[in-house]
């Protein structure tokens, strides 16, 4: 496999883009990434588009070809990939694979979703397409229900408290204030969090990521092509995709996702780095408790201590490991198919040293994108160019 | 790139599977392909699932992971790919690529769709997700409208007649009678075709493929792994994916699809074979006129003579080139995401010499899968193992 580097990134703001067609958001992010890369469009050999529910919510598919057409890309393979909330990470991995395997020298991964135009009932029904509905549908659970259960197990087993989990919320919402692309940055007090509406006990309003529109994109090239582009490179050390159980009862432990655990292990092995080497991670905090579980599953924090570390400030930008300095899904937003590429956008900025909420001396960065009830996962490890 | 061979095939019948969940159809076809291959499930390193509109019509996504889970496959990357009606062909190409590039030694591609439970209005709206709706939506065209226009151009330019096009319908419907998996085989007279309902002038009822449920699957391995399996191998000479214009006005010619033309050219070049070497092709006859156009775009028949060749019997099983001996989409059916893999199922049988409508001495086979208004295309070339 050939070495691959990221040379261009682009993103729309995450938030409300009422009335803007999804393909227009995707084209905007992709065009920005192409300019940032300084790559000749004729050299791009593959496009992967991550999207989850444009069919149900927009009546639009074949978006990969539509976006390539509007970008003026040549006649290349254009593929939509889907793995629920991990769709963006999967798009990135496939663009990486197309280059690593020698199919082409340059590729682009784009992620896009529009959701805010739908009613809550419509978007909840669409999001539940990520469940194994034949088996888990009768449970009546939605995703807040699943993560509420996970929180209860975590609290019972490890003594995790509301106040500790609130530290995750406060950190990510505060980080979001520094991110010009974020949908919902805020300076929140514990009392504001405590008194917010119950969504699915123990989850309250600020524990849940918002509904979002947005798009993000990354341009990748083979290392051997670096001299042909002008974008500031970031090395890809690993791009891993795994699967876990597709139904809730298939998970032996409700507060750990096998797909994350195995993806992280494989990524560290492929990259030849250890968890302790990671300076910054953008991980899949669709709910506050998800950040706690993810950080433990990734091996970044000892099991059971995820919320405690947040409360102690050890996951802040100047902490032991910076988690979600972008604001994460909680504050930056979660336009589902775009999220994985949005994470890469953030980590590339960190490793270029140009992030508005910069982690000091960030050298090794990680992204983590999780889909469904843990059925699909991607983990990437990136390194600042030396 | 490493050499890759197909060693297992599986398929449900195409037709009505009312009440059967889509994942159950996919698992059935995939399990059959795994048994046919005689491959150890633990050796399968990637799963690609082609599906188009399970989101809008079933409220189900992440099907790749769900199907892998139910098949008892290991923790491997599982990805849904989508390119409208070419989704199945795209799944095949990605499974091929995973092995050719050395990511894994064995992979499975599955395609599935369920549509017959939906109303005509629902399925028409879902199928129109394959259009560039921002640009072509205001035209009011559905797919019969597009292919009706193409027919008019073909008739005006080349003198193609109703009777010639009816020869395509008669052949494919008759071929379908010999295919136990086909939804709508029939012995039709010209008069029956002529007097059938007008769908979108000049398209009549029998010119249009039916709405279908179904699934099909193919197991592929690296040639170096052949000794570990028992399935009868068929060589993959080329697996090409292209794109064309995403909007109707982007096509310089309404009765030719650039994506097909370039896919065929690239496939012949990659395989080192010529169009004249092709003994049997399963191509994308979503409408009778589509078979005419496709056969010309693929370079199998001189431009303008596609319908004439059918009328002269030159595309029959014992003709110059056997086109759609399975019955094609017109008779076998078109469960969209499954169609591309269903075509491979048919051609593999031909090259193994075990097809119920066998082409004599078939050595080189071709498949052609076309999505949207020609925005996505796959072409594969296969060879009987020597």
* For testing contact with chain A, the best of B61, B250, B263 (most A CBs within 10 A): B61
Contact check, Cβ <8 Å, B62/A21? no
Confidence of residue A301 (pLDDT cuts 50, 70, 90): very high
Ordered mean pLDDT values, 10 residues apiece, chain B (386 residues): 96 96 98 98 98 97 98 98 98 98 97 97 94 91 93 98 98 98 97 97 98 98 97 98 95 95 98 98 98 98 98 98 98 98 98 98 98 97 94
| Side-chain half-sphere exposure of A217, counting CA atoms within 13 A | 31
Q: How far apart are CA A276 and CA A21, in angstroms?
A: 42
A222/A163 same-domain check: no
**Residues 301 to 340 of A: which have CB under 8 A from any B CB?**
none
A221/A241 same-domain check: no
Residue after which a domain boundary falls, among B190, B220, B235? B235
Identify the CA nearest to A291 among candidates A150, A114, A145. A150
What confidence score (pLDDT) does residue A356 get?
98
Q: How far apart are CA B294 and CA B288, in angstroms?
A: 10
pLDDT digits (tens, 9 = 90+) for A347-366: 999 999 999 999 999 999 99
Q: How many domains does chain B have?
A: 2
pLDDT digits (tens, 9 = 90+) for A261-281: 999 999 999 999 999 999 999
pLDDT digits (tens, 9 = 90+) for A86-117: 999 999 999 999 999 999 999 999 999 999 99
The answer to whether residue A142 neighbours chain B at the CB level (below 8 Å) is: no
**A121 contact partners, CB below 8 Å, separation of at least 6:** none
Q: Is residue A188 domain-resident?
A: yes
Give the residue on A whose Cα is nearest the Cα of B87: A79
**Its pTM surpasses 0.95:** yes
Spot the catalytic one: B17, B94, B334, B368. B334
Identify the CA nearest to B62 among candidates A242, A375, A254, A143. A375
Q: Is residue B124 domain-resident?
A: no
Between helices A336-352 and A87-100, what is the axis angle to 10°? 60
Phi, psi of A261 (to 5 degrees): -60, -50
Q: How far apart are CA B46 and CA B73, in angstroms?
A: 9
Is A284 a residue of the active site? no
B379/B287 same-domain check: yes
Question: Taking CA B175 as the corner, what is the angle to CA B172 and CA B179, rounded to the nearest 5 degrees?
Answer: 125
Spot the catalytic one: A154, A251, A284, A334. A334
pLDDT digits (tens, 9 = 90+) for B214-232: 999 999 999 999 999 999 9
Q: Is residue B126 domain-resident?
A: no
**Domain CATH for B51:** 3.40.47.10
B136/B221 same-domain check: no
B326/B308 same-domain check: yes
Identify the CA nearest to A13 among candidates A30, A3, A27, A25. A25
Identify the CA nearest to B357 among candidates B89, B172, B216. B172
A364/A324 same-domain check: yes
Q: Before A202, cis peptide (omega within 30)? A: yes
A263/A313 same-domain check: yes
Chain A positions touching B258 (Cβ under 8 A) are: 75
Domain that holds residue A82: 4-119+211-235
Q: Is residue A126 domain-resident?
A: no
Q: Is residue A318 domain-resident?
A: yes
B95/B202 same-domain check: no
Q: How far is CA A26 from the centre of its chain?
A: 16
B154/B70 same-domain check: no
Would you state the structure tokens that stand for residue A131, as one six-digit string? Answer: 């469940």
Asked whether the beta carbons of B350 and B325 are under 8 A apart, the reply is yes
Chain A positions touching B97 (Cβ under 8 A) are: 97-98, 101, 103
What confidence score (pLDDT) does residue B45 get?
98
Burial, B228: exposed, middle or buried (Cβ in 10 Å; 0-12, 13-18, 19+)? Answer: middle
Percent of chain B with pLDDT over 90: 97
The answer to whether residue A2 neighbours chain B at the CB level (below 8 Å) is: no
Mean pLDDT of chain A, nearest integer: 97
Asked whether the beta carbons of A323 and A332 are under 8 A apart, the reply is no
What confidence score (pLDDT) does residue A57 get?
97
CB pairs < 8 Å spanning A and B: 188
pLDDT digits (tens, 9 = 90+) for B265-296: 999 999 999 999 999 999 999 999 999 999 99
A141/A287 same-domain check: yes
**Residues 75 to 114 of B: which have CB under 8 A from any A CB?**
75-84, 90, 93-94, 97-98, 100-103
Q: Is residue B113 domain-resident?
A: yes
Burial, A119: exposed, middle or buried (Cβ in 10 Å; 0-12, 13-18, 19+)? Answer: exposed
Q: How far apart are CA B141 and CA B154, in angstroms?
A: 18
Q: Is residue A21 domain-resident?
A: yes
A247/A229 same-domain check: no
Q: Is residue A10 domain-resident?
A: yes
Phi, psi of A169 (to 5 degrees): -60, -50
Q: With the CA atoms of A336, A341, A342 and A348 taken in that order, what torsion angle do they form, in degrees rounded to the nearest 10?
A: 170
B152/B111 same-domain check: no
Burial, A205: exposed, middle or buried (Cβ in 10 Å; 0-12, 13-18, 19+)? Answer: middle
From residue B166, give the alpha-carbon distance in Å to each of B161, B162, B208.
9, 6, 12
Q: How far apart are CA A14 and CA A332, in angstroms?
A: 6
The answer to whether residue A52 neighbours chain B at the CB level (below 8 Å) is: yes
């Amino acid at each position: 496999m050939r070495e691959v580097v990221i040379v261009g990134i682009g993103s729309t703001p995450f938030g409300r883009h009422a009335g803007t067609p999804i393909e227009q958001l995707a084209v905007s992010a992709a065009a920005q990434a192409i300019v940032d890369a300084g790559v000749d469009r004729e050299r791009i050999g593959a496009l992967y588009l991550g999207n989850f529910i444009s069919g149900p919510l927009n009546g639009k598919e074949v978006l990969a070809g539509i976006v390539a057409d509007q970008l003026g890309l040549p006649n290349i393979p254009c593929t939509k990939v889907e793995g629920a909330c991990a769709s963006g990470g999967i798009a990135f991995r496939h663009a990486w694979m197309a280059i690593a395997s020698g199919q082409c020298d340059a590729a682009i991964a784009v992620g896009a979703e529009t959701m805010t135009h739908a009613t809550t009932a419509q978007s909840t029904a669409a999001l539940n397409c990520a469940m194994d509905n034949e088996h888990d549908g009768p449970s009546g659970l939605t995703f807040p229900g699943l993560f509420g259960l996970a929180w209860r197990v975590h609290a019972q087993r490890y003594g995790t408290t509301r106040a500790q989990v609130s530290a995750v919320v406060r950190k990510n919402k505060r980080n979001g204030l520094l991110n010009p692309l974020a949908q919902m940055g805020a300076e929140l007090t514990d009392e504001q969090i405590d008194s917010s509406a119950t969504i699915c006990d123990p989850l309250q309003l600020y524990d849940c990521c918002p509904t979002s529109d947005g798009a993000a994109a990354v341009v990748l090239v083979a290392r051997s092509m670096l001299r042909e582009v002008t974008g500031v490179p970031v090395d890809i050390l690993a791009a891993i995709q795994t699967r876990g159980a597709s139904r809730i009862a298939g998970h032996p432990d409700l507060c750990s996702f096998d797909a994350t655990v195995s993806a992280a292990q494989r990524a560290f092995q492929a990259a030849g780095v250890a968890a302790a080497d990671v300076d910054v991670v953008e991980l899949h905090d669709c709910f506050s408790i998800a950040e706690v579980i993810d950080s433990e599953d990734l091996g970044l924090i000892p099991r059971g201590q995820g919320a405690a570390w947040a409360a102690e400030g050890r996951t802040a930008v100047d902490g032991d490991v910076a988690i979600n300095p972008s604001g994460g899904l909680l504050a930056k937003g979660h336009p589902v198919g775009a999220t994985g590429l949005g994470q890469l956008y953030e980590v590339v900025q960190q490793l270029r040293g140009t992030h508005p909420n910069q982690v000091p001396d960030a050298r090794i960065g990680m992204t983590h994108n999780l889909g469904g009830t843990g059925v699909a996962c991607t983990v990437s490890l990136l390194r600042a160019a030396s």
